[in-house]
Amino acid sequence: MAPLLQGFTALDFAAVGPAARASRILADWGMRVIKVMPVVAAGADPGEPAFHAYGGGRGCEKIRVDLKSAAGRGVVHRLARAADVLIESYRPGVAARLGIGWEELHALNPRLVYCSTSGYGQHGPYAQWAGHDLNYLAVGGYLGCSGRDADGRPAMPGATVADSAGGGMHAAAAILAALLGRTVSGGGTYLDVAVADGVLNLMSLYLDEYLATGSETRPGNALLTGRYACYGIYATADGGHLAVGAIEPRFFRNLCQILDLERFADAQYDANRQDELRRVLQRRFLTRNRDDWVSRLAGADTCVAPVLGIAEVAADPHLRARHSFMPARHPQHGEFEQMAPILAGAERQQSVHELPPAGSTDTAAVLRSLDFSADEARELLQSGSVQ
């Protein structure tokens, strides 16, 4: 089967963050992704992410362009004329000042889908705030609803939820919707993807409840934030942990039967017995090791799963059976594994991904694909407008 997005081209002006996550998703679905990076002074750090990050650039091409030069901007304009999508993550207003903003490029290519990713959006009181994942989770209510650490502070999240789901997946979905819309309208679209907006979408169940009823979800006062013992995390005898999500009464009853705690099955949502129930469950789980409990409970309709560390995730037999990892090879770092294209519709079973040497680019090939002559390409390279 041909890749789902074969025949589409995206320009990505970001090395890291939500935009890079979005282009990673698009590349895994078969879109041609050209990473447009700034030129680097001789001897300077190119500022590239770790060789293994973002899939190690799998399926992407790279060109370095001096956006401060007229010739460099001309290269970008030529790229934009041939592209379907452009993704940028400059502070609001910067892309326009560089001569690669929406209005200028839309005039060159009316079918272009132009996606601006930022922390707080292109307008509003916070638009110029600097920020990272933790900040967006903070203003979106995610941290406010999360569990507390030993000092009573919102616990540090274990993943970059805002950048990946609130930003990268948000941008990828918006881009695909715009491309579908283009088949009807014939025209491109400007997309203002704010990571904080994406976090609001993740928090919509709680926000909608508050807006409609005035009831505010907080840690420990709602089903999904730890109010009931049937939905929580428990320690085991070997220092491991189990995630218990037995929300439905039948699943909780199954759990109680296997734990020989049937007398507590009807107390699942008794508000006056939750502390007692939590203590009883914790004492029982401390009688066996984590994996022993998993073998007894996970396949028995109890909604129990092990809390795995990263090394355990990489070795997990279920994920291995689903081809979640693939081989890769780097000229300096040798052979290793990386995440395969994991989202539905992408091809997971792939041959070895051969990574390019650090600092290399595909500039010559990209220029040829734009029908630059050999003399034009040589002049651009010699002038430093591209690298």
Question: Bridge partners of 117?
Answer: 193
Strands 231-235 and 325-330: unpaired
CB 348 within 8 A of CB 323: yes
Question: Looking at 163, 170, 197, 353, which residue is catalytic?
Answer: 163
Residue 132 annotated in active site: yes
3-class DSSP state for residue 235? strand
10 Å Cβ neighbour count for 350? 16
Write the CB contacts of 31 (distance below 8 Å, at least 6 apart in sequence): 3, 5, 6, 8, 9, 10, 84, 85
Residue 330 annotated in active site: no
| DSSP per-residue codes, 40-86 | --TTS---PPPTTGGGGGTTEEEEEE-TTSHHHHHHHHHHHHH-SEE
Q: What angle do CA 155, 156, 160 make, to 5 degrees?
A: 140
Amino acid identity of residue 229, one-letter, is A
Q: Would you please indicate which residues are annotated as catalytic (active-site) residues? A: 132, 163
